[in-house]
Amino acid sequence: MSMGTVQKMTATPPGLVDESAAMVEVRGIGKIYAGGVEALRGIDLKFPQGKLTSLLGPSGCGKTTLLKIIAGLLEPSAGEVIVAGKKVTKPGPERAFVFQDFALLPWATVLRNVAFGLELRGLPKGDREAAARRYIREVGLAGFEDRYPHELSGGMRQRVGLARALAVNADVLLMDEPFSAVDEQTRRKFQEDLLHLRTVERKTFIFVTHSIEEAVYVSDRVVLLSRRPGQVSQVIEPHIDRTAPPDDIRRDRTYLDTVEEIWQGLRQYVT
């Protein structure tokens, strides 16, 4: 390796990964939509507590479908999801979802948007606003509490969505391509911020992305899904040393080789 900051990835069949401290378990999940379209088939996965796992695969392989099933927003056609030892039948307070399209309340300020989940839970106004202000600072939006979504850039709106998900203090954060709507410079900064938040918050992140580079950079584990119906093809552990400067990691030969090796694993599914 050129600088000793990125270790060679390891690829392990899903059943052989040590996942004894799993926060989320997906058991035999399948999904068939109306009209007979089979999106997922026989998905067995465990998501370790406090780790960030990316779901990566060709378009239409069921990444977002799987994420929504874990969130309780979609009912599986087969199998079950277990979160913190309990079967998922609907959305719950232990899971928070960060949407690709922000899903902000256009008539509400940043502060109100971030506090909204706590408002729905009946938390007193003073307590929920104190929590919201903390996470607004955490995502770098201090000073924008009284702004409205239409006054913010796309990147800032996405930060509001992330702060709202963090504010409810869920154990599991489900993120559906949260950085896809921003420019490349902002996306890279978001990736670095996400790693910081993961370290500080120690939550379980499940992250959907189309970007191989992003998945390798931010993830403890990368789950590769096959072409529809999506099935687990491979589980990869990049083993990146997070103490290295971001630009050094991205330029490292082994990091680049890891990205290329994942691409070769996915290439068979791309037509």
**What CATH number is given to the structural domain containing 206?**
3.40.50.300
Do 27 and 121 lie in one domain? The reply is: no
Beta bridge partners of 32: 38
Rounded mean pLDDT of 219-239? 90
Rounded mean pLDDT of 131-160? 89
Do 33 and 124 lie in one domain? The reply is: no
Query: What angle separates helix 125-138 from helix 154-167, to the nearest 10 degrees?
Result: 130
Q: List the structure tokens of 208.
A: 């959907």
State the residue range of the domain holding 67.
Answer: 1-94+172-182+198-271
Do 177 and 269 lie in one domain? The reply is: yes
Rounded mean pLDDT of 10-27? 60
In-domain check, residue 193 = no
Q: How far apart are CA 208 and CA 215, in angstroms?
A: 9
Do 83 and 206 lie in one domain? The reply is: yes
Confidence check: pLDDT of 32 > 60? yes
For the chain, how many structural domains are there in total? 2
Query: What angle separates helix 154-167 from helix 184-201, to the nearest 10 degrees?
Result: 10
Rounded mean pLDDT of 88-106? 84
In-domain check, residue 207 = yes
Do 78 and 178 lie in one domain? The reply is: yes
Question: Strand 52-56 vs strand 38-48: parallel, antiparallel, or unpaired?
Answer: unpaired
Comparing 174 with 245, which gets the higher pLDDT? 174
Do 176 and 67 lie in one domain? The reply is: yes
Do 50 and 85 lie in one domain? The reply is: yes
Confidence check: pLDDT of 10 > 50? no
User: Residue 78 — pLDDT band, cuts 50, 70, 90?
Assistant: very high
Q: What is the pLDDT of residue 1?
A: 35
Rounded mean pLDDT of 79-89? 91
Q: Rounded mean pLDDT of the chain?
A: 84
Q: What is the pLDDT of residue 271?
A: 63
Per the rule left: phi > 0, alpha: psi between -120 and 50, beta: everything else, 78 is: beta
- The secondary structure of the chain as a DSSP string is --SS-BPPPEEE-GGGS--TTEEEEEEEEEEE-TTS-EEEEEEEEEEETT-EEEEE-STTSSHHHHHHHHHTSS--SEEEEEETTEE-SS--TTEEEE-TT----TTS-HHHHHHHHHHHTT--HHHHHHHHHHHHHHTT-TT-TT--GGGS-HHHHHHHHHHHHHHTT-SEEEEESTTTTS-HHHHHHHHHHHHHHHHHH--EEEEE-S-HHHHHHH-SEEEEE-SSSB-EEEEEE--B-TTS-HHHHHH-HHHHHHHHHHHHHHHTT--
Do 20 and 34 lie in one domain? The reply is: yes
Cβ pair 235, 219 in contact under 8 A: no
Q: What is the pLDDT of residue 85?
A: 87
Confidence check: pLDDT of 13 > 80? no
Confidence check: pLDDT of 20 > 60? no
In-domain check, residue 71 = yes
Do 110 and 154 lie in one domain? The reply is: yes
Confidence check: pLDDT of 70 > 90? yes
In-domain check, residue 188 = no
Q: List the structure tokens of 169.
A: 């203090």
For tokens 């410079």, the residue is 185
Q: What is the pLDDT of residue 46?
A: 94
Comparing 238 with 54, which gets the higher pLDDT? 54
Do 217 and 264 lie in one domain? The reply is: yes
In-domain check, residue 48 = yes
Q: What is the pLDDT of residue 12?
A: 42
Rounded mean pLDDT of 40-59? 92
Give percent of the chain with pLDDT exceeding 90. Answer: 38
Confidence check: pLDDT of 180 > 90? no
User: Residue 4 — pLDDT band, cuts 50, 70, 90?
Assistant: very low
In-domain check, residue 153 = yes
Rounded mean pLDDT of 182-208? 84
HSE-CB at 61 with a 13 A cutoff on CA atoms is 22
Q: What is the pLDDT of residue 178?
A: 80
Do 176 and 74 lie in one domain? The reply is: yes
Do 153 and 234 lie in one domain? The reply is: no
Query: What angle separates helix 110-120 from helix 125-138, to the nearest 10 degrees?
Result: 130
In-domain check, residue 74 = yes
In-domain check, residue 40 = yes
Among 115, 148, 169, identify where a domain stops: 169
